[in-house]
A and B are shown apart, each in its own frame.
Chain A
Amino acid sequence: MSSIQDSLNDLRRADGVKACMLVTNDGLVVAESMGNKFRDDIVAGLASYLSMTTNKALTEAGLAHFDTFTLHAAHGKSVLVDLGEAFLVVLLDQFADLEQSRGEIQGTAQRLRRSAKMSR
């Protein structure tokens, strides 16, 4: 098993994390630890859409791309972490404590940057 896959599997075991995946900026799945509840291609497509649209809007306002996008919805949360050529997508349940998960998510992002030599 690759170290990228190991990192994602470890992250998915964290409290409140329901699924996580590594996606290229144009929506291709690099690795995933999703379980049965989510379809990786759909999540990847949606995450890519969200990331690209957000970055485009930021650019148009003269701002740089985001590093982290934390989204709270009525029944779940998600975190997108930019890794340069790809990004980490983490889906959490609505009751997840983001403060607690932040360290694990950022740690995983750091490991993925190293593993995939994606650091910017």
Chain B
Amino acid sequence: MNLIQRLKIWKELRRLEQRVREEPSPSTFVDLGQVFINLDMLDRALQAADDGLLLFPDSQELQKLRDFAWRGVNRARVDDLRSKLNKAANSKLYRDLASAYLETGDQGALHATCEEWSVRFPSDPGPSLLLGQSRLAGYYRDFSAREGLEAVQHLERALGLDARERKARLLLAEVFYRIGAIQRSKALLDAMTSPQDDADLQNLRRQVAAARPLGNDIEALFRNAEESGVLPNAPPTASLPPLRTEDGIGSIRDSLAGIAEMPGVRKATYIKGTRALVKGDIKDGKDAFLRTIRVVAKAGHRFSRRLDIGSFKKGVLQGPFGVICICCYGEVLAAVQCDATAQVDRILAELQEVVASSLYAMGVSQ
């Protein structure tokens, strides 16, 4: 980039910064972020996206800008950590580097780093913990039994190296609870003798105490969950206070009822983890349509993740059955089956609104 081009960009930058202050909108923040990206100022682009999201939390464009800038910033952090490691390796640097790879989802680099880390520091439980976390994230996304078993192996190895490894113990206790291995989860939690439990731990202990045991055969429990496509127990953080309030659920229910009344809509559902709200021509939470939505969303997640195009957000299926629209964010799904003549774009926008507002209510969007 020559000097004149650079000067032009700086001029544009000043103009956009002023516009963002005077007429804030998602597109002005995105334009500003794009200029920062062109100037290789990724941290400023990230800041612009964050500022924009504070004002417009539902903006997809700002979310995309944030993702892009965040990946760039993370890449720079990884390069920095790698060069420090090459000069003087220590366990903390390896942990930071592996955590950065875990955040970006770069499985290959994470494995290579953990392997190098465990060779240099064989008694450190860190590599096993990070690999366990990575496998566990994959497991909660796809419910693949193989991935779940590998996560357990890594986490148990971390605990074997250091029985005081609190995070590994918590993650193991949680996954055992989620698949129904309640006794094993309880045994792990009972061994935690911290003087004061934090809110997450208290919540997990409470839910484990109330859950119904399904057995102790971990492999069988993982396979059952894979086959059914659902985990028997909801995550301990799923019942966050805002969602439990009548307002949170009530507004979702009202929005869903509104969607179900749109012309051409036959079925509408909102699914969060193992729970579902249904409206329209659906009998109950056991309707086959719900399973179809879960399976298609899961397949969509796998497809887009492995194709490296980010996480699955929306899907539209057209066929002799009409149109099925799915909106997804994490474990929250909203879907509709409608006639081919229905206003698909409007329905998708409404579904997106339901998903976004429920996440907002839960505080996930923060």
Residues of A within 8 A of B (CB): 38, 42-43, 46-47, 49-50, 53-54, 56-58, 60-78, 91, 94
Contact = CB atoms under 8 A, between A and B. Distances in A.
Contacts, number: 111
A91 B313 CA distance: 15
B317 A54 contact: yes
B319 A73 contact: no
Given A53-B296, A58-B292, A58-B321, A70 B310 contact: no
Contact of A71 (B63, B67, B303, B319): B303
B303 A46 contact: yes
B317 A73 contact: no
29 contacts: A43-B307, A49-B303, A56-B295, A57-B291, A58-B321, A60-B288, A60-B291, A61-B292, A64-B319, A64-B320, A67-B319, A69-B317, A71-B303, A71-B304, A72-B312, A72-B314, A72-B315, A73-B310, A73-B313, A74-B63, A74-B311, A75-B64, A75-B67, A75-B309, A75-B310, A76-B307, A78-B307, A91-B307, A94-B64
Shortest beta-carbon contacts, A-B, top 9: A74-B310, A76-B309, A73-B304, A61-B288, A75-B310, A57-B295, A72-B314, A53-B299, A64-B320
B251 interface: no
Given A68-B318, A71-B312, A73-B311, A61 B306 contact: no
A67 to B, nearest CB: 5
Contacts of A91: 307, 309
Nearest to B307: A46
A95 to B, nearest CB: 9
A115 B319 CA distance: 23
A43 to B, nearest CB: 7
B80 to A, nearest CB: 24
B321 A50 contact: no
Nearest to A77: B309
A57 B296 contact: yes
Q: How large is the interface on B (under 10, 10 to 19, 20 to 34, 35 or more residues)?
A: 20 to 34
B188 to A, nearest CB: 34
B235 interface: no
Given A54-B296, A73-B310, A75-B67, A61 B319 contact: no
A53 B295 contact: yes
Nearest to B299: A53
B302 interface: yes
Contact of B321 (A43, A53, A63): A63
A74 B292 contact: no
Given A54-B299, A57-B295, A61-B289, A78 B309 contact: yes
Contacts of B310: 73-76, 94
A94 B318 CA distance: 21
Contacts of A78: 303-304, 307, 309
A41 B321 CA distance: 31
Nearest to B348: A72
Contacts of A67: 318-320
B297 to A, nearest CB: 10
A74 B64 contact: yes
A46 to B, nearest CB: 5
Contacts of A54: 295-296, 299, 317
A71 B304 CA distance: 9
A46 B300 CA distance: 10
B64 to A, nearest CB: 7
Interface in B265-313: 288-289, 291-292, 295-296, 299-300, 302-304, 306-313
B288 A62 contact: yes
B163 interface: no
